[in-house]
């Protein structure tokens, strides 16, 4: 038997809520909806960014790096 917790994680950028199933094998058989299934995940939950926001940040960072490299090349 296991307890399944449905973890509602909210992206800090776009505020989209993702559902993650978190299962503990502790002899119970139930489903619980929660915003943080375990205290060890509290920091992860507080700083969560969804995949699309992480991809957008990575792309913006790459574009900025390329622009900086071009500017350095032109200034020489």
- Domain coordinates of the chain in residue numbers? 3-75
Q: DSSP labels for 36-47? A: -S-GGGHHHHHT
Q: Is 49 helix (H, G, I), strand (E, B) or coil?
A: coil
Q: In what order do the strands lie in the sheet with 3-10?
A: 17-24, 3-10, 30-34
User: Would the pLDDT of 26 be above 60?
Assistant: yes
- pLDDT, residue 75, reads 66
Reported as a single tens digit per residue, the pLDDT across 36-76 is 767 777 787 788 899 999 999 999 999 999 999 999 887 65
Q: Where are the alpha helices (DSSP H) in 1-76?
A: 42-46, 51-75
- pLDDT, residue 30, reads 62
pTM metric for this prediction = 0.62
């Amino acid at each position: 038997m296991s307890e399944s917790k449905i973890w509602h994680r909210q992206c800090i950028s776009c505020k989209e809520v993702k559902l993650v199933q978190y299962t503990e094998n502790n002899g119970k058989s139930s489903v619980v909806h929660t915003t943080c299934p375990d205290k060890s995940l509290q920091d992860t939950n507080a700083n969560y960014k969804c995949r699309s926001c992480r991809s957008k940040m990575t792309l913006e960072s790459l574009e900025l790096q390329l622009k900086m490299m071009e500017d350095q090349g032109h200034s020489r």
